[in-house]
Amino acid sequence: MNKRVMFLEGRHIYLRPVQPSDLPYFVQWFNDQEVTHFLGNQFPMTEMQEKAWIEGLTKRSGSDIVLVIVIKGKTPKSDRPIGTMGLHNIDLHDGVATSGAAIGAKDTWGKGYGSEAKMLLLDYAFNRLNLRKVYSRVLAFNGRSRAYSEKCGYVLEATHVGRHVRDGQLVDELVLVVNAEEWRELWEKTKKKFLPKKKK
């Protein structure tokens, strides 16, 4: 691609709509058991299933927004998709939604790209969609996901004991939530770190 399509732009990454060319990435990411171990779906995903899921996004445009996280390269051709992030079950009347993310490129784990993407998404959720609360559901053993969520302002609201099974063991599901008012205070303190540098 010779020109970037950016829906939300950060300092190191940007978020853009899913494109048909993302299909090979999705097939790779969502068949990697190190990635899916932290997600809800534990079944193999065929190329046809992923294609149908991408095509079905248009039908869910009123309640779900799924974006691809892309690391900025020196040129648009060297940009690198690394995962997805979105808002689900968006309820504009009640002002709530649930966020979800999957970083498929494992060599980028723990490097801050997820935090930057989540803060951009929450800026959109709270300051553009005017939502009041955004929830997130995390498996209890996923310390990395919980840590970066808390860094972005989420707090633990509830624990669903033994909600899931992984490797034959019962695993708790943690329900995290971030409120608009508290998040905006955090955003004012940290947004310079996440937003692109202003051109002189």
Q: Is 111 helix (H, G, I), strand (E, B) or coil?
A: coil
- Give me the pLDDT at residue 176, please: 97
User: Between the CA of residue 136 and those of 25, 101, 142, 167, what are the distances in Å?
Assistant: 24, 9, 13, 23
| Buried/exposed code over 117-153 (b: 16+ C-beta within 10 A; e: otherwise) | bbbbbbbbbbeeeebebbbbbbbbbbeebbebbeebb
Quick: pLDDT tens for 116-135. Answer: 999 999 999 999 999 999 99
Query: Chain-centre distance of CA 178, in angstroms?
Result: 14
Supply the pLDDT for residue 2: 64
CB of 14 within 8 A of CB of 70?
yes
What 8-state DSSP symbol labels residue 74? S
Is residue 1's pLDDT more than 70?
no
pLDDT at residue number 191? 95
Helices (H), the chain: 23-29, 33-36, 47-56, 113-127, 143-151, 180-194
| pLDDT reported for residue 38 | 82
Statement: the pTM of the whole predicted model exceeds 0.85: yes
Per-residue pLDDT, averaged over 20-48, amounts to 88
Q: What is the pLDDT of residues 70-85, one digit of tens each?
A: 999 998 889 999 999 9
- Identify residue 87 by its one-letter amino acid code: L
Burial zone of 29 (CB within 10 Å; 0-12 exposed, 13-18 middle, 19+ buried)? buried
List the domains of the chain with CATH numbers: 8-193 (3.40.630.30)
